[in-house]
Amino acid sequence: MRFAGRLVLGTILVVVFVVLTIVSASEVSLRRDLEADIATSLEREARLVTNALPADSTEWEATVKRIGAESGLRITLIDSVGRVRAESDVPEERVPVIENHANRPEVIAALQNGVGSNKRTSATIGEPLLYVAVRGGPGIVRVAARIPQVDRVVKRAQHSVLGAALLALVIGCILATIAARSVARPLTQITGAARAIAQGAPPRFPAPPSPTSTRWFARSGR
124-130 LR contacts (CB < 8 Å, sep 24+): 124/87, 124/89, 124/90, 124/98, 124/99, 125/74, 125/89, 125/90, 129/74, 130/35, 130/38, 130/39, 130/42
- pLDDT of amino acid 133: 97
What is the rounded average pLDDT for all residues in the chain? 79
Give the whole-angstrom CA distance, residue 55 versus residue 122: 29
Higher pLDDT, 67 or 12: 67
- pLDDT of amino acid 216: 43
pLDDT tens digits, one per residue of 204-217: 555 555 555 445 44
Task: Examine the pLDDT at 138 and tell me if it is beyond 60.
Answer: yes
Are 38 and 130 a contacting pair, CB within 8 Å?
A: yes
pLDDT tens digits, one per residue of 92-110: 999 999 999 999 999 999 9
pLDDT tens digits, one per residue of 176-198: 677 666 665 665 656 655 665 66
Domains annotated on the chain, with CATH: 26-152 (3.30.450.20)
CA atoms within 13 A on the CB side of 2: 13
Higher pLDDT, 14 or 49: 49
pLDDT band at 174 (very low <50, low <70, confident <90, very high): confident
Task: Examine the pLDDT at 147 and tell me if it is beyond 90.
Answer: no
Give the whole-angstrom CA distance, residue 167 versus residue 162: 9
pLDDT band at 202 (very low <50, low <70, confident <90, very high): low
% of the chain at pLDDT higher than 90? 41
Q: With b meaning 16 or more CB within 10 Å and e meaning fewer, what string describes 70-109?
A: ebebbbbbbeeebbbbbbbbbeeeebeebeebbebebbbb
Give the whole-angstrom CA distance, residue 98 versus residue 213: 82
pLDDT tens digits, one per residue of 22-67: 767 766 777 788 788 889 999 999 999 999 999 999 999 999 999 9
